[in-house]
Amino acid sequence: MTTKKAFIFDLDGVIVDTAKYHFLAWKKIADQLGIEFTLEHNELLKGVSRVRSLDIILGLENVEASQEDKDKWLIQKNEDYLTYLVDMDENEILPGVFPILKYLKEKQQPIALGSASKNARPILEKTGILSYFDAIVDGNDVSNAKPDPEVFLIAAKKLGMSPEQSIVFEDSIAGIQAANIGKMISVGIGEEKTLHEARYVFQDFTHIETRFIDNLINKKIG
């Protein structure tokens, strides 16, 4: 009997280094509005939907805006963000990710994407890893943003696995909270001090050994 688990990956900041592009695009809007926006503020935006991100930025300095202006800035942010993706290829895949995806495939483990981004599919296509995913759940499929676990619960369901059988790789505080609320095993990718709510934290995927993956696969549930 083979043991199976659902391996669910966030996209931005986990598979690809796009978190920096989101930051640069938001920073332009913030500068335009005279709002101070630092890398520390940016942590609050990770894993958070585009609409909510704008509200958080405006909230930093209690800026009130009409819906018309908000819509305009949301379009501007995304158009600017997309310019960073034009030349994207497999070189933007973060270190250690590809070997882990390959290992999971070899072990016939179900793999899903669980991302808040509405740009997820083109990014997976451009980086050439779309075929590794048995299911894709992105910002177009969910109505409740992380830390609501909806995105991961749908992903687990699509893979035919229970939440308890699911492992989530995340770089955002909101995403770790979503996995925990959903009763999944949360694996933080990034700084321990930021992601201390995660069950496990690794600086990046190069620090994850296949033994760790094997232990997750073989872990008895319930």
Q: Is 136 near ligand BG6 (CB under 6 A)?
A: no
Q: Whole-number minimum distance, CB 166 to ligand BG6, in Å?
A: 18
Q: CB-wise, 4 or 41, nearer to ligand BG6? A: 41
Residue in 18, 168, 171, 179 binding Mg ion, rule: CB under 5 A: 171
199 CB burial (10 A radius; 0-12, 13-18, 19+) = middle
Residue in 7, 12, 21, 81 binding Mg ion, rule: CB under 5 A: 12
Q: Is 170 near ligand BG6 (CB under 6 A)?
A: no
Residue in 18, 49, 127, 172 binding Mg ion, rule: CB under 5 A: 172
Rounded to whole angstroms, the Cα distance separating 203 from 192 reads: 8
Radius of gyration of the chain (CA): 17
Residue in 13, 147, 149, 190 binding Mg ion, rule: CB under 5 A: 13
Contact between 181 and 72 under an 8 Å Cβ cutoff? The reply is no
Catalytic member of 12, 55, 171, 204: 12
Torsion of CA 1, 187, 123, 210, to 10 degrees: -50
Measured over the CA atoms of residue 122, residue 86, residue 98 and residue 179, the dihedral's sign is: negative
Q: Whole-number minimum distance, CB 78 to ligand BG6, in Å?
A: 6
Q: CB-wise, 53 or 165, nearer to ligand BG6? A: 53
> Which of the stretches 28-36, 48-56, 158-166, 197-205 binds ligand BG6 when contact is defined by CB under 6 A?
48-56
Rounded to whole angstroms, the Cα distance separating 60 from 30 reads: 10
Looking at residue 94, the DSSP 8-state letter turns out to be P
10 catalytic residue (yes or no):
yes
Q: Whole-number minimum distance, CB 47 to ligand BG6, in Å?
A: 5
Q: Whole-number minimum distance, CB 183 to Mg ion, in Å?
A: 20
Looking at residue 116, the DSSP 8-state letter turns out to be S
Q: What backbone torsions phi and psi does residue 200 show, to the nearest 5 degrees?
A: -135, 150
Rounded to whole angstroms, the Cα distance separating 27 from 31 reads: 6
Three-state DSSP class for 112? strand
Q: Whole-number minimum distance, CB 11 to ligand BG6, in Å?
A: 6
Q: Which residues are catalytic?
A: 10, 12
**Contact footprint for ligand BG6 (CB under 6 A):** 11-12, 22, 45-50, 53, 78, 115-119, 139, 172
